[in-house]
Amino acid sequence: MVRAVVGCNWGDEGKGKITDMLAQEADIVIRFQGGSNAGHTIINDYGKFALHLLPSGSFNQNTTNIIGNGVALNIPKLFEEIEEIKKRGVPEPKILVSDRAQVLMPYHVLFDSYEEERLAGKSFGSTKSGIAPFYSDKFAKIGIQVNELFDEAILEDRVEKSLPLKNVMLEHLYHKPLLEKEDVLKTLHEYRDMVAPYVCDTGLYLHNAIKEGKSILLEGQLGSLKDPDFGIYPMVTSSSTIAAYGAIGAGIPPYEIKNITTVVKAYSSAVGGGAFVSEIFGEEADELRKRGGDAGEFGATTGRPRRMGWFDCVASRYGCRVQGATEVVLTVLDVLGYLKEIPVCVGYEIDGKVTKDFPATSLLEKAKPVIKVLPGWNCDIRGIKNYEELPKECRDYIEFIEKELEVPIKMVSNGPKRDEIIFRK
Ligand code: GDP
């Protein structure tokens, strides 16, 4: 059975915790898109970890963790993360890297920074991890696939094809030092030696695993609203964050993805620029950010303070729809326990008209939130294990959101730890 765990919102919904929890039962966990540009925070028996590229099944000895072909493979970062978790007592994780994944190069990181510098105040707020230049190269067919690292003639040819393009930009647009073929090849040789023990045809591996009835998890990064097609373009990421892309980025048939577990945060937060209709500011935002602690304060990769907002029914229903959510996990509900009343955004007013349907970005910029205020439960709900034991106002809040999402909320997360989860029947 293949299950995807994906984000409904702008990322940071708590997918890492949910994947780590579900991974205990999984034979295989796969990263299928993105790179080291966002983080998953995981708290388990080994401690607290911020993983960026390693799949969240890396703490389980029985789980095989796959870096799928859709990932931006930053080889040194992958190894840093493996070393870091081993240093902290986690046994060597089982890792496989797709021979069709492409290699994120140091020059991708440089181009990312140079472009942000060039755009100055009008930048995209990139994490400068090289993700946009990496995916641009992939689709311009000047990227380098992992399998090509093992054939010197092909590798040289690939480098010779891409360098003139890079150097024109470096010389005439960015006015920066040029790239030398020998240096680039040297880096690629180092990467080849590092990654060699892990490389395999992961598509074939998964084909066999599916035949054997293995339990497989696709681990998404970021969320629906950061998807290049369905998100708030251009303030999006450069690879698809949608469960459907799991089939491509892992290399499995689309009809095998039976379960799309969509992680929805009980309030809104976002890192980086772009329209954010239910955003709040000032003291109200500071308070929510502070209460959110790790869940609210800073992005796991960027360290940037998150923008805060109330729960947005319009964006979240859309986020679930584009994921094709079959079930929802509602996370960080405990954080709202300090509020006597909880505002939620139930509609967008655009040019004097109220809509409940999430619009394309040019209209989104004009949207003003229509707010409904729900009663808060005003107490701490951490430690509660049974749904019926949650305060009535809290259950009402969950059930209100469930109705708005039009997808069953099957799990409620009431704390950052693995076992702080309430299953609903
Ligand atoms: P991800 O990329 O979706 O995994 O999200 P992040 O890891 O960047 O951010 C989620 C943050 O929320 C992390 O610090 C988690 O430890 C924390 N978290 C996850 N679920 C809960 C929850 O139910 N309650 C609280 N208080 N924190 C949570």
pLDDT at residue 97 tops 70: yes
Give 244-262 pLDDT, tens digit per residue. Answer: 999 999 999 999 999 999 9
What was the pLDDT predicted at 120? 84
264-423 is classed CATH 3.40.50.1100: no
Atom of ligand 1 nearest to the CA of 263: 3
- What spacing in Å lies between the alpha carbon of 271 and ligand 1's midpoint? 14
3-state DSSP call for residue 143? coil
What was the pLDDT predicted at 246? 98
Q: Is 44 in the pocket of ligand 1 (CB under 6 A)?
A: no
Give 379-406 pLDDT, tens digit per residue. Answer: 999 999 999 999 999 999 999 999 999 9
| Location of each CATH 1.10.300.10 domain in the chain | 102-195
Q: Is 347 in the pocket of ligand 1 (CB under 6 A)?
A: no
- What spacing in Å lies between the alpha carbon of 164 and ligand 1's midpoint? 43
Q: Is 15 in the pocket of ligand 1 (CB under 6 A)?
A: yes
- 417-425 long-range Cβ contacts below 8 angstroms, 24+ apart: 417/17, 417/43, 417/44, 418/17, 418/20, 418/21, 418/24, 418/43, 418/44, 419/21, 420/334, 420/382, 420/383, 421/21, 422/384, 422/385, 422/386, 422/387, 422/390, 423/387, 424/387, 425/387
| Confidence tier at 46 by pLDDT (50, 70, 90) | very high
Give 105-146 pLDDT, tens digit per residue. Answer: 999 999 999 999 998 877 777 778 999 999 999 999 999 999
Return the residue whose CA atom lies nearest to atom 18 of ligand 1.
416
- What spacing in Å lies between the alpha carbon of 13 and ligand 1's midpoint? 6
| Location of each CATH 3.40.440.10 domain in the chain | 2-99+198-260
- What spacing in Å lies between the alpha carbon of 210 and ligand 1's midpoint? 30
Please report, rounded to a whole number, the percentage of residues in the chain having pLDDT higher than 70: 97
What was the pLDDT predicted at 304? 67
Task: Tell me the average pLDDT across 145-172.
Answer: 97
Chain centroid, CA 298 distance in Å: 15
Task: Tell me the average pLDDT across 411-415.
Answer: 97
Task: Tell me the average pLDDT across 144-152.
Answer: 98
- Residue 311's closest CA among 417, 397, 416, 421? 397
Task: Tell me the average pLDDT across 235-240.
Answer: 95
**CATH superfamily label, 2-99+198-260:** Adenylosuccinate Synthetase, subunit A, domain 1 (3.40.440.10)
| Location of each CATH 3.90.170.10 domain in the chain | 264-423
Task: Look at domain 102-195 and name its CATH class.
Answer: mainly alpha
- Residue 306's closest CA among 268, 340, 342? 268
- What spacing in Å lies between the alpha carbon of 43 and ligand 1's midpoint? 9
Q: Is 301 in the pocket of ligand 1 (CB under 6 A)?
A: no
Task: Tell me the average pLDDT across 351-367.
Answer: 96
* 12 counts as catalytic: yes
Q: pTM for this structure?
A: 0.95
Atom of ligand 1 nearest to the CA of 13: 3
pLDDT at residue 317 tops 60: yes
What was the pLDDT predicted at 299? 56
Q: Round to whole Å and give the CA distance between 38 and 144.
A: 22
What was the pLDDT predicted at 126? 75
Q: Is 43 in the pocket of ligand 1 (CB under 6 A)?
A: yes
Q: Is 309 in the pocket of ligand 1 (CB under 6 A)?
A: no
Average pLDDT, the chain: 94
Angle value at C-alpha 72, between 66 and 77, nearest 5 degrees? 80
Task: Tell me the average pLDDT across 146-171.
Answer: 97
